[in-house]
Each structure stands twice: as structure tokens, then as C-alpha cells.
Amino acid sequence: QKEVEQDPGPLSVPEGAIVSLNCTYSNSAFQYFMWYRQYSRKGPELLMYTYSSGNKEDGRFTAQVDKSSKYISLFIRDSQPSDSATYLCAGRGTGGGNKLTFGTGTQLKVEL
Amino acid sequence: DGGITQSPKYLFRKEGQNVTLSCEQNLNHDAMYWYRQDPGQGLRLIYYSQIVNDFQKGDIAEGYSVSREKKESFPLTVTSAQKNPTAFYLCASKLPGLAGHNEQFFGPGTRLTVL
């Protein structure tokens, strides 16, 4: 079993839809949770991060972590074609070189 | 502009050859990381270095080697011992500290193809 599980998609939604992307994890030591966005043939870019449980909002994006169920979510409101990318979730603990453990990524396509 | 540079963007290698991928950062970050990305497998950690002249193996270090002689540089050598080297290689760096906003910053990647 992988430490971070993520549905690879692809997920296709119409422009303006609310998108929900989800991950589960198994490592109880994870304290920090990240969402990276990766466009085709590019390096990932940090989109959101959350410490421990709770919600964090940044514009159209909301990251949510529920440590009791080991569940990570990213919501995108008013989705745009420019949101079409692969979204990677990741978690890490507080030691060991701050190593990140990534999910496999979910491919999202927002259609006009 | 501060950032991470990876070169070359595309690299072709014949079987049995060693090849070195370059990673340079001018962000003054202490920690640097190498990942490989394969379809359906996400990013997997190869090596990481928290300070100059020190580095540790990640989850899939076999067939790879690194050096960290300068803070800004962390080259990765893919040796002939790596059985399946064709992949997208990503370098990342990070400031020290636990705060989430100091998370890993990625370069543009190098796509390595073995012919």
C-alpha cells in the first residue's frame, strides 16, 4: 500500500464547475500537507500547503485536511481551462530531511 | 530572477553509458532534492542533501550517484547500473525550517530517454 493514495483520473469538468480532488494517506507522522500543480512537461509548482487539520483558502482554491480520517482535499471554485493540469498531493513529517511523499497525481481537464 | 535551472531539457543516452544531469539554484537554499517521475507513479525521491558535502539516499537510490560540493549545485549521475533510467527527472530545493511556506521549489525538469 502506498503511503499517499490519489485517484489518477482523468477528471473532466465543464468551465465554472466546482472541482474536488482528494487523497488519503497512511503515515500518522505527517504534519504538513501540500498540493502542487503540474502542467504538462513542466516542474510542479506549490499551490497550497496546510499544517495539521483544518481548512485554508486562497482565492478560488481551498485545501482541507482531516487528520482523524487521514483525508486531504483540494477544492477549486469557478474552474477555468487554465486549471487543466495534474494535481499532486503530498505529505511530510517534521524530521528526516523534510522529505515529501507524493501521491500519483490527478489529471484534471476543464472544458469550455 | 531567483530559481532552479536544470539542464539539459532533453537528454538521450545509449545503454551502458553514464550521464550527468545538472541542477543549479540561486535561491540560497540549503536543502536540495532529486526525484524521478514515471507515468502513474508520481514523484519518487532518489537522493537529497541538507548541507554542502553531505547527502542521503532516498527511496530509489540504486543506480544513481550525486555530489554536493557547492551550495548552489547538486548534479545527478545516472549510471549504467540503473536498469530503467528513462524518466522525467526533477530537482527541488528548500529553505531550512518547518514552516509550510518554505516547501520544496521545483526546477523545470530533464527528460532522459535511453535509446
Tell me which of A100, A106, A107 to substitute to probe the interface with B (most B C-beta atoms closer than 10 Å): A100
Q: Which residues lie below 8 Å from residue A15, measured CB to CB, with a gap of 6+? A: A79, A80, A81, A110, A111, A112
A19-50 pLDDT per residue, tens:
999 999 999 999 999 999 999 999 999 999 89
Rounded to whole angstroms, the Cα distance separating B113 from B75 reads 18
Mean pLDDT, chain B, rounded, equals 91
Q: What is the pLDDT of residue B39?
A: 85
Q: Are A33 and A22 in contact (CB under 8 A)?
A: no
Do the Cβ atoms of B100 and A105 come within 8 Å? no
Rounded to whole angstroms, the Cα distance separating B39 from B83 reads 17
Q: What is the pLDDT of residue A53?
A: 86
A53-111 pLDDT per residue, tens:
889 999 999 999 999 999 999 999 999 999 999 999 999 887 767 789 999 999 999 99
Residue B49 bridge partners (DSSP): B32
Give the three-state DSSP class for A107: strand
Q: What is the pLDDT of residue B67?
A: 97
CA max distance for chain B: 43
Tell me if chain B has a CB within 8 Å of the CB of A32. Answer: yes
Min Cα–Cα distance to chain A from B64, Å: 18
Do the Cβ atoms of A46 and B104 come within 8 Å? yes
Rounded to whole angstroms, the Cα distance separating A111 from A11 reads 11
Do the Cβ atoms of B42 and A94 come within 8 Å? no
